[in-house]
Amino acid sequence: MNMSLVEYERRGSVAVLTVNNPPVNAMSPGVPRGICEGIARASRDREVDAVVLVGAGRGFIAGADIRYFSLPWPEGEENFSDVIRAFEDSSKPVVAAIHGHALGGGLEVAMACHYRVVSPGTRVGQPEVKLGFPPGAGGTQRLPRLAGVAAALDMIVTGSPVTAPQAVELGIADSLIEDDFVEGACRFAEQRARSGGPHRLARDLPVNLDDPAIFDAMRGKIARRARGMRAPYACIECVEAAVNLDFDAGIAEERRIFEACVHSDESKALRHVFFAERAAGKIPGIDKSTPLREIASAGVVGAGTMGGGIAMNFANAGIPVTIVERNSEALERGMAVISRNYGASVSRGRMSEEAHDRAMALITPSIAMEDLADADVIIEAVFEEMAVKKAVFAEIDRVARPDAILTSNTSYLNIDDIAAAMPDRHGRVLGTHFFSPANVMRLLEVVRTANVSAENLATVMALARRMGKLPIVAGVCHGFIGNRMLEGYFGEASLMVEEGIAPERIDRVMFEFGMAMGPLAVMDLAGLDIGWSKRKDAGGGTAIERRGSWIANRLCEQGRFGQKTGRGYYIYEKGSRTPTPDAEIDDLMEAARHHFGLGPPDLSDAQILERCLYPLVNIGATILAEGHALRASDIDLVYINGYGFPAWRGGPMHWAGNVGLDRIHEAVCRYHRELGFPQWAPSSLLKELASSSRTFEDHDRDHRHA
């Protein structure tokens, strides 16, 4: 079995070991043994002077098999150390021939070989930090010896890979082989064998450090991004060990730190996110045989903030897009914003002038709906009101090709209703809920309407990935996955302010938990007026004076709409986005408590956290039970990528498993009794899982979609 995972072949005087463990050649059980056996066979084979290690398929080795960080490694199976020892003990030079990718343990295996050659288009890196631990098979000790401390530190702490030419320039690889890769690698190996050596190992190279201050500088640089996390700092400690200790002591230190991190909640959460991202693409009714439609041109209706950002996504993906507005003033305004956004990317060095010009040339502004007549896909991004959207779709319906895919960028509305008004477009209407700023945010909720065809859904998912988005399928319900849950989160935050808990305290608790921003600061950013006008439209008169909106109503009456007016729950200095607490909110809190007859505020930080987060879990469970999310891990991805939930906590549903679903269910029932707001109506799925001591991950496993 092992030799089928690693094939042995002799080409002249070179033994070629090919790792063949689809899909990505991870170092699963059997692979290390196969490599060790191959090396042993090559060393016995008198005809062999050198060994080339190569990967079958799309790449070299993608690292350790990540599944095995949660599974026992089979008794007696060889591991990374055995492979590395086999290379180091080999009297014949071993050449790693890297094509596609060498990541994590893949690069570590390669760096333990005597030589490395790369093919063009290859990327090599140590992405372990993204899984919550530092490299654990010598990467933090060998990479600084090959690439220098500064470059190694950067690669290991950020997890970002480098390209083949960079790998050669940095000294990670010895040569770039342009064509006939395996043959070229064999010639390289033969030459090195013929040269007679010495075949130096990375472990024997010195570590040169010019500037000892780089470690603290790196700690400072990552402080914001790595808030609450352990792994990025662990990576720095490991590279420091490479500088301060001899090689073997450095390896021992790396192992100690790796072991401490790999079993942490942070790593479990990040591994959950890794597999969640891969699972999100698996949709019932869609598989590899589902045909995809070609998207060669697009239309966007509405050149506001969202429409402009969406058009930029098309242009960035190289797809020509026509953006339509009602009048030239609005169109010009929208195009000016797009141009400004691209300009900012250029001045920050994130985009070249050529890329800027290319992108702008792909966007055609228009005030004529007819200009969308040829578009393969049209996205509506106008004002969030059903009547307005329906009127716009009636116009789109008039001009669009019969086979065009039509999507609405609504964040709440019933897209089935929109689709029902266009019976001739059966199966071609769905939702694409982008997040603001639409050209930046990775999340896209793809809303599956009742009749959308598998082909059109699959096409939109593929289009989203082409745009660099993470598409998550959601069902048609008010607010889909993210905003529906958000109502509970914002709702509780607003209720707590009415109870006299200061906005800055609630926001501090949530920021310390790891959220990018606290809920009140987010509400100020989004604009308090949006909810206010919705409440007025829906309830009229006094019906809007419900608990949870009383203070927001008073703020809006005073024209305090949040950041855009310089005041909301906080005060904002002119031109600043930094929230400053406002004493007037104290008076409003006092008035609210009086109005609703509430006692003095009495909540601990832990209770504030519960009241913010448990509704997310409870409503998430309801959405899952209703089938409006395909899996709990999709909900986690929505919150991480659209709402600033810390990835290192794995998303709300994964985090709930750490807290204990029984504990959360008990609290939800208690808050339901005491407070009674809809976000506390206990989810039957939460109850069921809690009573059977299962987690949402267990639920996902039981309902796995192929």
Which segments of 280-367 does DSSP mark as H helices, in order? 305-316, 328-347, 353-362
DSSP 573-629: -TT----B--HHHHHHHHHHHHHHT-------HHHHHHHHHHHHHHHHHHHHHHTSB
Whole-number minimum distance, CB 23 to ligand 3H9, in Å?
Answer: 4
Whole-number minimum distance, CB 477 to ligand 3H9, in Å?
Answer: 27
Whole-number minimum distance, CB 350 to ligand 3H9, in Å?
Answer: 22
Whichever of 404 and 632 has its CB closer to ligand 3H9, that residue is 632
Backbone angles phi, psi at 600, to 5 degrees: -65, 150
User: What is the CB-side half-sphere exposure of residue 394 using CA atoms within 13 A?
Assistant: 7
Question: Under a CB-based contact definition with an 8 Å cutoff, are residues 614 and 606 in contact?
Answer: no
Beta strands 14-19; 6-11: pairing state: antiparallel
Whichever of 105 and 646 has its CB closer to ligand 3H9, that residue is 105
Whole-number minimum distance, CB 121 to ligand 3H9, in Å?
Answer: 13
- The H or E element containing residue 485 is helix 482-498
- The H or E element containing residue 101 is strand 101-103
Whichever of 73 and 511 has its CB closer to ligand 3H9, that residue is 73
The set of catalytic residues is: 108, 128
Question: Under a CB-based contact definition with an 8 Å cutoff, are residues 454 and 286 in contact?
Answer: yes
Cis peptide before 198 (omega within 30 of 0): yes
Whichever of 251 and 552 has its CB closer to ligand 3H9, that residue is 251
Which segments of 49-131 does DSSP mark as H helices, in order? 80-89, 105-112
**Nearest CA-CA partner of 643 in 368, 433, 394:** 433
Question: Under a CB-based contact definition with an 8 Å cutoff, are residues 312 and 298 in contact?
Answer: no
Whichever of 199 and 230 has its CB closer to ligand 3H9, that residue is 230
Question: Under a CB-based contact definition with an 8 Å cutoff, are residues 301 and 380 in contact?
Answer: yes
Whichever of 136 and 518 has its CB closer to ligand 3H9, that residue is 136
Whole-number minimum distance, CB 55 to ligand 3H9, in Å?
Answer: 10
Whole-number minimum distance, CB 540 to ligand 3H9, in Å?
Answer: 50
What residue ranges bind ligand 3H9 (CB under 6 A)?
23-24, 26, 62-67, 80, 101, 103-105, 108, 127-128, 131, 135-137, 139, 275, 278
Q: Cα separation of 172 and 654, whole Å? A: 38
Whichever of 24 and 430 has its CB closer to ligand 3H9, that residue is 24
Q: Cα separation of 583 and 479, whole Å? A: 34
Whole-number minimum distance, CB 514 to ligand 3H9, in Å?
Answer: 22
Q: Which residue is nearest to ligand 3H9 (CB)?
A: 104
Which segments of 162-230 does DSSP mark as H helices, in order? 164-170, 181-195, 214-222
Q: Cα separation of 256 and 657, whole Å? A: 27
Question: Under a CB-based contact definition with an 8 Å cutoff, are residues 665 and 659 in contact?
Answer: no
Distance from CA of residue 150 to its chain's centroid?
27
